[in-house]
Amino acid sequence: MAGQPWLEAASTKAVIAALEAAGGKDCARFVGGCVRNSLMGRPVDDIDIATRLTPNETLAALKAAGLKAVPTGVEHGTVTGVSDGRPYEITTLRRDVETDGRRAVVAFTRDWAEDAARRDFRLNALYADAQGTVFDPTGGGLADAAAGRIVFVGEAETRIREDYLRILRFFRFYAWFGKGAPDSVGLAASARLKDGIGRLSAERVSKELLKLLAAPDPRAAVRAMADSGVLAQVLPEAPPLDLFEALTTLTGDAALRLSALLPPDEAAVMAVAGRLRLANALRDRLAAMMRQGQAVAPDMDPASARAAIYRLGRQTFEDRLVRAEAATAGDGGPLRALAEGWTPPRMPVGGRDLARLGVTPGPETGRILKAFEDQWIADDFPTEGHEARLKGLIPPRA
């Protein structure tokens, strides 16, 4: 694994040097995603480090080296070191003392194997030293990374009972890194223990689900979730997967993919959003997709498309267009290009224009302006003749 840019970066070397100055040569190793992704040829975003140093010793070591140290989770053994503006999450080796399916009470250890034994999957329990030498305490992580297997560390049921979120993580990692069929032992354990998902906080569940749906191609993982009953545990409202399968080939947008796992009903979507504690922006976007009203289709003419963009807004128009493409196998490319290149104009008249024409401000003003807007949209947003249109809408005086 030597030669990885993140491994050779001066900022990384500075953090490792600070830890080794306090704890010796084998006191710190890289762990988890940065090691796994490097071995699998994937981009590395976050750099996690496991250390034999206690959190207080880690804080002191970083400060002694002139690096920023943030006690982000000291009670769980985690300190964030910042070097050249890049964060490094540094966690003391741990072993579980007590678990309840949602969280664990941990004790610190100096044993790499004990730390590996409490991790979720074997390919996430890989460690590497500063030179890039990889350590595989479970004995299966390297083979799993090479083969694209997601296998629990130790007994699958034991790992799941420690934290039921690991059921969703099993499918999420399969979506991102899996090849072939999912591990049968892990799949069976997930199916047997799926009711435990109900013990988790809604925020943890929705966050994991959205990460899964953001994978390049989550179709196999979602099919496995459906077949095992896990999907129904999370989204009992989920319809058959036909629309989801088609839509996933059109977009990598997790919000749109999620919409295909929901019933096409605004009230039902709002109920799911509340249950899963979805962010307000995501909730509102999903609701707008399902709201009754302006229809969108890949074969609509440009004038109708502009009218829909004006009334719905670009985001909702594009969301409905992609969903319609998936449902009808139509080609929405030309309309997407239209939406990206067209800026809806502002309504060219207002109350002042009517007042100038002798209309007394009041309910009649709103009625006339609404009628004008409907006609202006229907005529494809003409840029001239506005006063004549207004005059034609003003009722004659008695």
- Looking up tokens 């007994």 gives 155
| Predicted pLDDT of residue 1 | 77
For the chain, state the CA radius of gyration.
Answer: 28
The two tokens of residue 223 are 């099919």
| Predicted pLDDT of residue 271 | 97
| Predicted pLDDT of residue 294 | 84
Q: Which of 180, 123, 109 is nearest to 152 (CA)?
A: 123
The two tokens of residue 283 are 């909730």
| Predicted pLDDT of residue 297 | 96
| Predicted pLDDT of residue 321 | 97
- Residue pair 349/317 in contact (Cβ under 8 Å)? The answer is no
Domains annotated for the chain, with CATH where assigned, are: 1-147 (3.30.460.10), 152-292 (1.10.3090.10), 302-341 (no CATH), 351-393 (no CATH)
The two tokens of residue 35 are 């090691």
Averaged over successive runs of 10 residues, the pLDDT of the chain (398 residues) comes to: 90 97 94 96 95 95 96 89 96 80 76 94 97 96 97 96 96 97 98 97 97 98 98 96 97 97 96 97 97 92 97 97 95 96 95 91 93 96 94 82
| Predicted pLDDT of residue 74 | 82
The two tokens of residue 316 are 């909702």
Q: Secondary structure of the chain: what % helix, strand, coil (to 5)?
A: 55, 10, 35
CB atoms within 10 A of CB 397: 5
Model confidence, pTM:
0.90
CA-CA-CA-CA torsion sign (230, 231, 233, 236): negative
DSSP label of 218: -
- Grouping H, G, I as helix, E, B as strand and the rest as coil, residue 93 is coil
